[in-house]
Structure 1
Amino acid sequence: MLREIMYEKYMIIILCQKILVLIKAKLKKIDVSYITNWEKLHDSFIGNKRPDELVVCYLSGPEPNNDFNELTCLGILPQNIWAFESDNKTYKTALDNFEQGEYPQPRILRQNINTFFQQTPKKFDIVYIDACGSIPSTQHALKCVSTLCLYHRLNSPGVIITNFAMPDITTEETNDFYEVVAQYLFFKEYPSEDIEINDYGIVSQKYDEFLSKVKENFNLYYGEYVSAVLRDIPAVIIPSERIGQNPYFKQIINSEIINSQRATDFISLSKGISIARYFFVANLLDKKGLLGKKSQCFFGEIGNSDALLIGLKITVLLKNRKIKLKEDIEEIKKFFETERNIYQFLDKPHSNLFFDIIVNQLSYPMHHNTSHNARYQYIAKSNSMFTDVNVYDECRYIYEWLPGLHQIVSSFQNKSWQYVFRFALDGLIKMRQNYNNEFFFQGSVVSSSVADFSSKTLSERVEIK
């Protein structure tokens, strides 16, 4: 027995030595200059800013001096602080906080912040949205985030701080709030669950059980809904709207099939893709007259919902290989599907990796940095408030490393280029793996079980007493 154990250990050592020899041989094929160049590209997008270099905006309210004083005490220059107030009476009250000739004081603009984001090409490092209302609502607090992302008014990396209130669930809108939270989070939790849609709504025992959990502990699930939406709008929802509107993608697909598929077909095809599945289901419920007012309001808060649905359909059809590609794109796809053209690492990549990187290169997502976020809950007077501090990164040091559409094959044939790209992409995959499952299927290089390569998890919401 001892001899057998010793022999097994010996064989393991021999195998490990052979693996190390293979790894060294692979490493020798990598031109180190590619790593150096990627590091330079990364550093050109990610730098350090002193407090006096940051530009901040916030909602004024009647007492803008409180936030202003906090910001200036942190070292932010008064000239780099913008405050917005659209209500005339509140605007006048805000101005009355300061005497004539008093300086410094915040720059207060009498304008809706959404309109400012649309019309003025000003970018900010930190945007603080203390809306005090719940989401979704007719106050359009969530629309501030979607408009900010749509018009790219946040620098990268940049920070969005939001403060939303717990809805009043003692009103006639209670069930509508339960619905929008439960449906959104259900498809996050169970993106592949079989469901049916009939004339009464979603038919699923699993969904009924989940809805009951939401009703029993709405405080918890509402907080998770807030955080999920704040991750998804910059990373998936707004980029999908761009996909639906950008004529460049007509170079990739023949789009006739998009309108030939039934709504139920897309629900089936989107199994495993949570955001697409939610919007396809909600859109069908809306057509049947079964979607609650809060869910309808949510559709109005996230930008162009028609373009969003088109973009999500394109993504789903590409992933399921249900869409006809242009001939030149079909040739590129074959390269990704052919054995040994692309090094496997942990996951064996296929054409979906190609479609993902091309789509994201042009749709400009802002990815949520899961490692640097903070979530709080506290009581203001008698109402629960949910504060989320989120860092977003466009990751252009990954997307700008990519060449153009018809140069992709050439770049992947270069092992040094490919290795650098794959390892950089692995970091992004691990950052979003647990929260956004829309892109980068089978793109991991190293297992999540390896130290320093683990997938990142969201911090718990901290209750402030």
Structure 2
Amino acid sequence: MRKIYDYYTLSEDISQNREEAAKINISYITNWEKLHDSLIGTKKPEELTVCYLSGPEPSNDFKELTNLGILPQNIWAFESDTQAYKQALADFEQGEYPQPRILKQNIETFFQQTPKKFDIVYIDACGSVPSVQHSLRCVFTLCWNHRLNSPGVIITNFAMPDITKNTINDYYELVSQYLFFKEYPSEDFKINECGIINEKYNQFLITVRKNFSYYYGEYISAVLRDIPAVIVPLERIARNPYLNQILLNLSTIDSKNDEQYIDLSKGNSLARYFFTVNYLLEKRILGEKSQCFLKEIGEFNDLIKGLKIIILLRNGKIELKDDVEKIKDFFETKGNVYQFLDKPHSNLFFDIILNQLSYPLHNNVLHNARYQYVAKSNLMFTDVSIYDECRYIYEWLPGLHQIISSFRDKSWQYVFRFALDGLVKMRQSYNNEFFFQGAIISNSIDEFSSKKLKERVQIK
């Protein structure tokens, strides 16, 4: 935020951008930085709390963690299988200390029932995703129940599906469809009894089949970004009665069919994907692994409802309450909100309000680490994913009916928009669901360019 302020006020020639940025009262910047620092801060190893899946031999992970300076008392291990739990207890001699806290409970159940938060969650499921081991559902449950501190880390370890089994074709379909809409969110296509009909999709499917290990790894990373940042928040939005203060008639979301929503969601990758697979599901031509994936990410009906709401809002196809319509008009009226780079739009307002209440966890792609290695004969994919709630952005702004007042205070507004630019640039290449037209400064300037995910590293 301060970098943009300095760029416009110190680096640029005389311009309207410079004049507008100079209107910020510097006390607003320092107050925002205090808010930011109060929510980020730093932690020493002994202040971190970690949980992991125990398995029959929990001592290996435990020793690694304690060697790094994490206190034994801050380490939680979970094992639900009776035999594995007994072996885990026997892995430590009686009276030996330190030991991890080993609980005989499913880790998902713990996330649901116990209000404990962790800094690092390590899910070494070893199976493929999606699968009957419900590894992705564990990530969803963790995020849905808000059990990760911010900033926080989720470490996952998933296996390559067995390409010799008949189910591999279902994995090809799942990975291809998910990543196709990431790559081509505006591409026109048709659907018949064979599925998606589109030449680019057919070519992409062939490419995925030829280099499945690469694209499977990309799919894993994409899903780990999407669950905390988009899928969980959308399901929260769908269940939140606060919507009744924004929308005049929620029942209108069911007035359009799946094909109409597929068309309305052009340019929005996840919405287009989920509307399409919902249509394929209703036509009974969706593969088993795609269906398994939908069962791993909470209540699918709520997700579809949340997607319908944001797509209708974005396209101006849903009736708003009168007072909300006036707020929308404020953003749409020329001259009310200054344009730095992107033209400010009412979608910015809706994104603010919805994300303020739905608590997304945004992926910091700059600090992610991704690995690929062979364990015995299994190809494994490890993702170390860093998440941030970015409450220093959302909590800078007040509530729904105070938005116009805060945006009329240019210092307040510009500090928010400068800070938001950082989040826009972090998500721009990976999640296009929120913050359309939120950029303040050009991507062509190196210091403010879109952030890119590091390539997966192969460990020999």
TM-score by shorter chain over 0.5? yes
Partners of 1:312 and 1:232 in 2: CA distance: 13
From the superposition, tell whether residues 201 and 103 of structure 1 become closer, same or farther in structure 2 (CA, over 3 Å): same
Which residue of 240, 247, 260 corresponds with 1:246?
A: 240
The residue number in structure 2 matching 1:165 is 159
Which residue of 2, 21, 27 corresponds with 1:33?
A: 27
**Worse overlay, 209-218 or 247-256:** 247-256
Q: What letter is aligned with 1:399?
A: Y
Q: Does 1:237 align with 2:231?
A: yes
**Worse overlay, 153-162 or 98-107:** 98-107
* TM-score (norm: length of structure 2): 0.96
The residue number in structure 1 matching 2:345 is 350
Partners of 2:76 and 2:283 in 1: CA distance: 44
Q: What letter is aligned with 2:57?
A: E
Partners of 2:317 and 2:22 in 1: CA distance: 41
Which residue of 399, 420, 439 corresponds with 1:444?
A: 439
The residue number in structure 1 matching 2:330 is 335
Q: CA deviation at 1:429?
A: 0.3
Partners of 2:11 and 2:274 in 1: CA distance: 51
The residue number in structure 1 matching 2:147 is 153
- Secondary structure (helix, strand or coil) at the match of 2:364 reads strand
- Secondary structure (helix, strand or coil) at the match of 1:160 reads strand
The residue number in structure 1 matching 2:37 is 43
Which residue of 81, 88, 94 corresponds with 1:100?
A: 94
Q: What letter is aligned with 1:330?
A: E
Q: CA deviation at 1:198?
A: 1.7
- Secondary structure (helix, strand or coil) at the match of 2:367 reads strand
Partners of 2:96 and 2:358 in 1: CA distance: 45
Q: CA deviation at 1:22?
A: 4.8
Partners of 2:442 and 2:420 in 1: CA distance: 13
The residue number in structure 1 matching 2:83 is 89
Q: CA deviation at 1:29?
A: 2.3
Q: What letter is aligned with 1:104?
A: P
Partners of 2:73 and 2:217 in 1: CA distance: 34
From the superposition, tell whether residues 381 and 28 of structure 1 become closer, same or farther in structure 2 (CA, over 3 Å): closer
The residue number in structure 2 matching 1:80 is 74
Q: Does 1:320 align with 2:315?
A: yes
- Secondary structure (helix, strand or coil) at the match of 1:20 reads coil
Q: Does 1:224 align with 2:218?
A: yes
Give deviations 1:29-74, integer Å, cap 9, x for gaps: 2211111110111011001000000000000001000000000000
Q: What letter is aligned with 1:353?
A: L
Q: CA deviation at 1:402?
A: 1.0
Partners of 2:15 and 2:261 in 1: CA distance: 48
Are 2:373 and 2:379, in contact at CA under 8 Å, matched by a contact in 1?
Answer: yes
- Secondary structure (helix, strand or coil) at the match of 1:436 reads coil
Partners of 1:131 and 1:30 in 2: CA distance: 50
Q: Trace 1:300-319 onto structure 2 (pairs within 5 A).
A: 300-319=295-314
- Secondary structure (helix, strand or coil) at the match of 2:130 reads coil
The residue number in structure 1 matching 2:58 is 64
Count residues with an aligned counterpart: 450
Q: Trace 1:270-309 onto structure 2 (pairs within 5 A).
A: 270-309=265-304
Q: CA deviation at 1:250?
A: 1.5
The residue number in structure 2 matching 1:114 is 108
The residue number in structure 2 matching 1:268 is 263
Partners of 2:214 and 2:92 in 1: CA distance: 40
Which residue of 381, 385, 401 corresponds with 2:376?
A: 381
From the superposition, tell whether residues 378 and 196 of structure 1 become closer, same or farther in structure 2 (CA, over 3 Å): same
Partners of 1:290 and 1:29 in 2: CA distance: 58
**Worse overlay, 162-171 or 19-28:** 19-28
Q: What letter is aligned with 1:170?
A: T
Q: CA deviation at 1:343?
A: 1.1
Partners of 1:378 and 1:236 in 2: CA distance: 29
Partners of 1:167 and 1:141 in 2: CA distance: 14
Partners of 2:71 and 2:102 in 1: CA distance: 15
Partners of 1:167 and 1:23 in 2: CA distance: 52
Q: What letter is aligned with 1:216?
A: K
Partners of 1:17 and 1:313 in 2: CA distance: 43
Partners of 2:22 and 2:427 in 1: CA distance: 31
The residue number in structure 1 matching 2:367 is 372
Where does structure 2 lack aligned partners over 5 or more consecutive residues?
Answer: 1-9
**Worse overlay, 396-405 or 196-205:** 196-205
The residue number in structure 2 matching 1:258 is 253
The residue number in structure 2 matching 1:11 is none
Q: CA deviation at 1:451?
A: 2.5
The residue number in structure 2 matching 1:417 is 412
The residue number in structure 2 matching 1:179 is 173
- Secondary structure (helix, strand or coil) at the match of 2:226 reads helix
Are 2:17 and 2:340, in contact at CA under 8 Å, matched by a contact in 1?
Answer: no
Q: What letter is aligned with 1:129?
A: I
From the superposition, tell whether residues 196 and 321 of structure 1 become closer, same or farther in structure 2 (CA, over 3 Å): same
Structure with higher Rg: it is 1
Give deviations 1:190-235, integer Å, cap 9, x for gaps: 0000011122211111111111111111011000000000000000
Give deviations 1:311-350, integer Å, cap 9, x for gaps: 0110111111111111111100100001110010011111
Partners of 1:90 and 1:383 in 2: CA distance: 21
- Secondary structure (helix, strand or coil) at the match of 2:153 reads strand
Partners of 1:24 and 1:330 in 2: CA distance: 32
Partners of 2:165 and 2:333 in 1: CA distance: 59
Task: Give the CA RMSD over aligned residues.
Answer: 1.3
